[in-house]
């Protein structure tokens, strides 16, 4: 099974944009879309089935819904039927009333989301959300292969917002 992230946003281009150039009103309604491609079992036509994957459990997005705003992911196979996903979630920043606020002033509301999924399922169960002041502009997460459940994450800027951040884009 191969999990492909399909992030469709109306106002973004294929070029890298700095956070100040991203208009959160251009986010795809409903956030990112996760699609599983069943490469182990092609159909009679030779094509592979696509399945949408939905988060379940206690996950809540920035505004209290189940939207994910994914940038990247890594996976660790736990057993023959279970995969643990580590996902960079670039949630929009929100105000006191869960209203989306200007990201150019506060930066993204970035988290690492951990989900587990059983082979063939159309749901992934939320395990936990990692929010830390050490994760300010994550661009890559990598699961540790030692079975500890640990991961590494890199930030692509030395600060979250401001002139230094703008000069690093």
Domain that holds residue 30: 2-167
Work out the burial of residue 155: count CB atoms within 10 Å of its CB; fewer than 13 is exposed, 13-18 middle, 19 or more buried: middle
Work out the burial of residue 152: count CB atoms within 10 Å of its CB; fewer than 13 is exposed, 13-18 middle, 19 or more buried: exposed
Tell me, what's the pLDDT at 138?
A: 86
pLDDT tier, 15 (very low <50, low <70, confident <90, very high otherwise): very low
Question: Cα–Cα distance between 23 and 65 in angstroms, integer?
Answer: 20
**23 vs 66, higher pLDDT:** 66
**Quick check: helix, strand or coil at residue 166?**
helix
Residue whose token pair is 């997460």: 141
Total domains in the fold of the chain? 1
Residue whose token pair is 């208009």: 23
Q: Which residues, at least 6 apart from 73, have a Cβ–Cβ distance to it below 8 Å? A: 3, 5, 85, 86, 87, 88, 141
pLDDT tier, 159 (very low <50, low <70, confident <90, very high otherwise): low
**90 vs 115, higher pLDDT:** 115
Question: Cα–Cα distance between 105 and 127 in angstroms, integer?
Answer: 30
């Amino acid at each position: 099974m191969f999990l492909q992230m399909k992030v469709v946003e109306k106002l973004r281009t294929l070029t890298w944009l700095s956070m100040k150039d991203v208009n959160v009103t251009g986010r795809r309604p409903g956030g990112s879309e996760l699609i599983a491609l069943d490469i182990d079992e092609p159909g009679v036509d030779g094509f592979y089935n696509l399945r949408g994957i939905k988060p379940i459990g206690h996950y809540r997005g920035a505004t209290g819904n189940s939207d994910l705003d994914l940038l990247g992911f890594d996976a660790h196979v736990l057993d023959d039927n279970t995969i643990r996903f580590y996902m960079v979630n670039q949630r929009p920043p929100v105000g006191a009333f869960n209203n989306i606020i200007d990201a150019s002033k506060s930066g993204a509301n970035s988290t690492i989301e951990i989900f587990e999924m059983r082979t063939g399922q159309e749901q992934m169960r939320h395990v936990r959300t990692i929010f830390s002041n050490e994760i300010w502009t994550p661009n890559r997460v990598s699961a540790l292969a030692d079975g500890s459940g640990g991961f590494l994450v890199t930030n692509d800027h030395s600060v979250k917002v401001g002139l230094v951040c703008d000069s690093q884009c």
